[in-house]
A and B are shown apart, each in its own frame.
Chain A
């Protein structure tokens, strides 16, 4: 019984750790395609980011990370503020 539990726990842990993440950022001042260039360029330099999408109508930036990828809140805040924009929220969701 204990052996089964350990195997199950290991599997759950492994599958969780391997998951990619979708991070949705609420950004202020993001009103035009011209504005997104700097942010896009910087996030594409982050190794863990596999995809980035912008919704100018909602002012959101959606990052997709690779499995085991990690993009810290501090990294996100630095990129957004250095780019000249405001960050109001970070939502993380495992894919």
Chain B
């Protein structure tokens, strides 16, 4: 009971949404799991092409004691491939069901993700707006901004660390802005892992596989 309470406290202390490109490579699968300030979520996506991905997503929102399940569709709207950098703009969407307090209703979200990255630096922004048919689960807007630096350049078969600073903004939340240092590590596949702690002491972690 005590362990469960501690785990629940950690989960409830945590910020939102695993950060990875919302579309993988053609024929690629991408399962992910994250624990964060609102609870935890997991998703599995499949990308038939480099332009779009479809998947399913589940979330547990501890603050509202709500579970959400979506069918998801993410699309690459724009990509610029430069000799030493890459820029992307995606739209992310999901539609499904919310369950809370014994009631069920339609739920959905819509958001964008943009990123720029070279071998040494990265910048990323994402947002989404969640809509539900339940009064007990508030519609809300969230956005996240990240800047990162690679402390060294790893070859494609080695583990590449990134040191990032993340700002999470939820205008209607009790704590609207949180700043977090984040450590990301990944290799040439299949693992990308992240962990961070915010200025409010919230810990979060995610694990993303791609194959």
Contact = CB atoms under 8 A, between A and B. Distances in A.
Interface of A: 27-42, 54-57, 59, 82-86, 88
Interface string B173-194: 0000000000000111110100
A27 B189 CA distance: 19
A52 to B, nearest CB: 10
B208 to A, nearest CB: 9
A88 B124 CA distance: 27
Contacts of B187: 33
Contacts of A40: 188
Interface residues of B, number: 35
B192 A34 contact: yes
Given A31-B86, A59-B83, A36 B26 contact: no
16 contacts: A28-B82, A29-B80, A31-B84, A33-B160, A33-B188, A34-B188, A37-B210, A41-B27, A57-B119, A82-B26, A82-B49, A83-B26, A83-B50, A84-B25, A84-B81, A88-B83
B85 interface: yes
A86 B85 CA distance: 11
A83 B160 CA distance: 22
B118 to A, nearest CB: 6
A33 B154 contact: yes
Given A37-B189, A38-B50, A84-B76, A32 B26 contact: no
B118 A31 contact: yes
A31 B186 contact: no
Nearest to A28: B81
Given A32-B160, A33-B187, A59-B84, A38 B119 contact: no
Contacts of A83: 25-26, 50
